[in-house]
Amino acid sequence: MNYLTRRRAARRRQLAEWASRNQRSPAGEPASPAAESPVTAQGAAEGRRLPFELLDPPTALNTLAPPSRSPNGNGHHAVPEPAAASEAAAPPALAAGAPAPEEPAPTPSLAEPAQQPGAEQLYQAARRAWEEHDLHRAAALYRELLARDPQHLRGRNNLALVLDELGEHERALEELDLCRTLDGTSLEVRVNRSAVLAALGRYVEAERELLDVLEQEPTSGEAYFNLGLVTARRGRWDCAAPHFARAIELGTGREAAHFYLGEALNHVDDLPGALQAYQRAVELAPNNPKAHYGLGIVLDRMNRPDEAAQAYRRSRELHIR
């Protein structure tokens, strides 16, 4: 047996040992299905928890969008902001959610934030700070906005998103609970809330929230995507895979959905399916080192070492950048 053959045999043994161990999270650390420990802010910053994501902000708002976070260990995607019902490009979840009121309501809804002098300027400034990733300044501006108008629900929702990104998950949950008291019909707020619950390690509550959302809106791709993340974080990869696949079918086609579908299918030993999912993730986000690394793992398990080595090499190059 020559050196190259021995090296390949050693790699196959290593992969076999890896597959036989406890299931692992997408970041690579062991995650027992029965162990559901809370996630710290430090872990989130290092990419050690799943990036529980939500919709990108509606482009019809004509405002600066919060910075997105790719699932490559740099954090998590922005949690979506509810859109005004009068805007043409309102997200499907919101459009299909609350019925139109028969008469003007005295309490502003999430889709119709109260406008006071200076409120919109503060709102725009807070979003710009968020877009620049100046999270503390964004939080301060949103608080100033809410001091003037406590019922400005988009501002309160966005404050929760900033707090979540800062690792202040309990306070983020408090803000989202306040949002629900003012508009309990918003599916977006409920999906946001499930993401924060998951960040706190409260997976059963997060899963229940998402199942309730899907009962009201069975075509919510974002709810399916987040449900896949919750079940995957609990080590239930066989349940997570169909959730990710359904999210993709419903139009949640960003690379994160394909990436995590690849993770799930790899864990349940559906190697052809995992290969296809990782390849699509690489097509959509060619600079994601984790997608290339996952692709390499599957190619290695399929006994295609030359292609696997190329994928590993590309992953290392992207990590070095």
Domain-embedded: residue 98: no
Separation between Cα atoms, residue 27 and residue 266, nearest integer Å: 14
Taking residue 38's Cβ as centre, other Cβ atoms within 10 Å add up to 12
Domain-embedded: residue 41: no
Closest residue by Cα to residue 152 from 203, 118, 197: 118
DSSP state for residue 60 in the 8-state scheme: G
Claim to verify: residue 60 and residue 183 sit in the same structural domain:
yes
Domain-embedded: residue 101: no
Question: How many independent structural domains does the chain possess?
Answer: 2
Claim to verify: residue 169 and residue 128 sit in the same structural domain:
yes
pLDDT tens digits along 157-210: 999 999 999 999 999 999 999 998 888 778 889 999 999 999 999 999 999 999
Claim to verify: residue 242 and residue 300 sit in the same structural domain:
yes
Claim to verify: residue 215 and residue 307 sit in the same structural domain:
no
Instruction: Output helix, strand, coil percentages for the chain, rounded to the nearest 5.
Output: 60, 0, 40
- Contacts of 258 by beta carbon, 8 Å cutoff, 6+ apart: 244, 248, 277, 278, 280, 281, 284
CB 290 within 8 A of CB 259: yes
Claim to verify: residue 70 and residue 192 sit in the same structural domain:
yes
Domain-embedded: residue 90: no
pLDDT tens digits along 101-133: 444 434 444 545 554 448 889 999 999 999 999
Claim to verify: residue 171 and residue 268 sit in the same structural domain:
no
8: domain CATH number?
1.25.40.10
Residue 79 burial by Cβ neighbours in a 10 Å radius (0-12, 13-18, 19+): buried
Claim: this prediction has a pTM higher than 0.95: no
Quote the domain boundaries for residue 196: 51-82+109-223
